[in-house]
Structure 1
């Protein structure tokens, strides 16, 4: 796969993730473009929050289902489903973070990765 094809596939994955989040009414969706930062382990972070552990778990399940159905892809790793305060879904080029709002505020990934290009839901591709 060429770099251009890989970039297109990665953006399709980001869009599918966002649609999966929207399907279950995930809130405050943000995409961090990590491609301009050297030595990062992923190309994009997709971050959102839910209102409760049930909501976070439901959003995470929706992302996995939506990506599997739309792109026939599955994550390399999923972490945090047992307490559902912060669920991480790793698709290698795209890492999804589904938080409960207080946990998201505490870890502040957007602040930690402030050098990344940031796009909120209204600005997506």
Structure 2
């Protein structure tokens, strides 16, 4: 992971993101396209110590899926938003891959690794939103 002094000195860009920002939508879609599970967004904008505006966290069932999700996020954000990651790491072990877009940091975990690190608990002051697609309600036919 990046050292704490490095995190403290990097600057967030001047424009603040909102939950409806295009990059958040593209990241979420890229994760869901590769069947990422338990996808959540942590809104860190009201936390002064936070190094980003949002964390997007998801999990995968295998190292192959972790890689596929992280790679798809980078490809789709580049294609749809023209942004390349400021930093990424974890591609060697594929237990926890981090893709850093400065204002948005994507965390792709294997399930056991996510349980161990408990980022949602560490950032419990953040507003959390479930980003998984909900199945459309089944409409009953009226005769």
- TM > 0.5 fold call: yes
Q: Deviations over 1:81-120 (max 9, x none)?
A: 0110000000000000000000000000001101000001
Match of residue 12 from structure 1: 22
Distance change (3 Å), C-alpha of 1:4 and 1:122: farther
- Name the count of aligned residue pairs: 121
Distance change (3 Å), C-alpha of 1:75 and 1:33: same
- 2:39 alignment partner, SS class: strand
Cα contact 1:10–1:93 (8 A) shared by 2: no
Is 1:38 the counterpart of 2:48? The answer is yes
Q: Deviations over 1:57-104 (max 9, x none)?
A: 000000001101110101011100011000000000000000000000
More helix by share: 1
Is 1:66 the counterpart of 2:76? The answer is yes
Look at both structures and tell me which one has the larger radius of gyration over its CA atoms: 2
Structure 1 stretch 98-107 or stretch 4-13: which is displaced more? Answer: 4-13
The normalised TM-score by structure 1 is 0.90
Distance change (3 Å), C-alpha of 1:122 and 1:52: closer
1:44-83 paired onto structure 2 within 5 Å: 44-83=54-93
Match of residue 3 from structure 2: none
The normalised TM-score by structure 2 is 0.79
Query: Structure 2 stretches of 5 or more lacking a match?
Result: 1-12, 134-143
